[in-house]
Structure formats: structure tokens, C-alpha cells
Amino acid sequence: MSDLRITALVENISSGDFKAVHGLSFYIETPNHKILFDLGPDNTVFKNAEKKNIDIKKVDTVIISHGHFDHGGALKEFLNRNKSAKVYIQKSAFEPHYSRALFFRINIGLDAGLKNNPNIVLLDGDYSIDDEIELFVSKVKDRFRSEANSALLAGKSPDNFRHEQNLIIRSDKDVLITGCGHSGVVSILESVCGNKPAYCIGGFHVYNPVNRKTVSVRQLEQLSELLDDYGDVEFYTCHCTGKKAFKYLSDRHKNIHYISCGDIIEI
């Protein structure tokens, strides 16, 4: 077995007989941990884990990337099934979050009633769990402000995504795991302390699931140009990137791949 094994348990599309749903969850096995990075919106994560013979009760660490339901909607059920794992989340992730559609605000936030659960660790910025896994927030101004972010609100204000955190797994080849990359994938990469990661896995958030529109070609061109500086990083994108944007970017960057529900990356 490889030192690091990443299985997509929740993703928008499936590579086989696994249930697909709009959301994200990665099961990550390292030498020292069994991690769930995000939980998806519902019980899909548990159903697909069972198909993969993954025992949810043996997970020791959960990381919720940000305060949106499609990444943490299954949190209550997880806490019912697993009584020992620590759940790391930015404390601001439990604040109200909405998606704007015309004159309406759609609640896309997490269940704030869960924040006092004793297994939940509320964070305020960067946090080192141990020598192998670290969490951090983006500190570099986004040079690519995705149009798809414009519909997202924190309360009544435009979301600044201070509730978003990312995971670095330290090994011979450091691996960066993001959720949606609302803060900007390049800004997140530039916020990594130490070595540039060899892998970056997660969404680019250039697709709006409410109106089902991808950002403009002009924006895709801008993102593509920024990614030119990262030709030595292997990208596995998914979820809020969308297939249209993935095709555009992967046609121009041979180091950009797609990870679907059921797929496994071994490093």
C-alpha cells in the first residue's frame, strides 16, 4: 500500500456504481491517521463508504473545509456514528451562510446547534494537529476572484470566506487538500508555509450550482494563466469546478485531472 491513499466518497459525478450527489468528501489514509475531509450533504458518504469497505467508526480525524451544507451536512449523523473522532472546523463556519438567487436567500449553512459537541474543535486560523497534518487559512489576496462567489453571502454581507480552511499533509511529497477553493486556488497555494505541495486536490469554484452556470471564458483564461506557474504540481479537481471548466483547463494543462466519486489516488 502507498503511504497516502485518497478516496473520493462524495462528488458530483460517479465513476462507477457509487451514488453521486452535489457535495464533497475525501477519505484519506496516512501512516498515522484515518481522515474524512468534508462529509458531503447527506448520508451518501456513509453509503459509499460501506461499498468501499471503509469503517466510519475507525476515522480519527474529520476536517470540515468551510461552512456550507454540501461539505458538512452529514456532520450530525457522523457524530452519532463515531463518538471518538475529533472534528476540526473554523468557528466562523457555524455562522449563517446563504446563496443568493434573484431576490431570495437560500440557506446553505451548517447546523449551528452542533458547535458545542465535545468532539468538535473550533479553530480561529491556522492549526497544526501534529507533524503530519496541518490546517491553514488563505492569507494572500485572491488574484482571481471567481464570478461564482458573487452569489454567496455570510449573513447579509458578501462572503469573505474567512471560514474556509485547507489541509496540508506532510510527507516526501506534500499534499494540499482544499474544499471549494473559494479563496482562490492560487491564493491558497501561495499561503502554504514551507515547500510547494506536489499535489493539490479540490475544487476551483468556477461553477454556480444554483444557476448551473460556469464563469466566463475570460475568467477561465485568467485562471489558466495563473496556473501556468504551477506546472510542477499535479492537480486533481472536482465538485465546484464543473465539467465545462475542467475540459477548458485540462486541454491547456496536462497536470490537471478529475477525481470522481469512487476514484482513488495513491501517492
- Residue 137's nearest CA partner among 165, 178, 179, 167 is 165
Q: Does 2 have pLDDT greater than 60?
A: yes
Q: List domains and CATH numbers for the chain.
A: 5-266 (3.60.15.10)
pLDDT digits (tens, 9 = 90+) for 232-245: 999 999 999 999 99
Pairing of strands 120-123, 86-90: parallel
Q: Is the dihedral of CA 165, 166, 168, 169 positive or negative?
A: positive
Average pLDDT, the chain: 96
What is the pLDDT confidence band of residue 143, given thresholds at 50, 70 and 90?
confident
* Residue type for position 70: D
Q: Given this model, what pLDDT does residue 102 score? A: 79
CA 168 to chain centroid: 12
3-state secondary structure 205-244: CCEECCCCEECCHHHHHHHHHHHHHHCCCEEEECHHHCHH
- Residue 36 pLDDT > 90: yes
Express each pLDDT in 49-104 by its tens digit.
Answer: 999 999 999 999 999 999 999 999 999 999 999 999 999 999 999 999 999 987 88
The pLDDT, as a whole number, for residue 103 is 80
Which pLDDT value is given to residue 152?
A: 96
Confidence category of residue 12, pLDDT binned at 50, 70, 90: very high
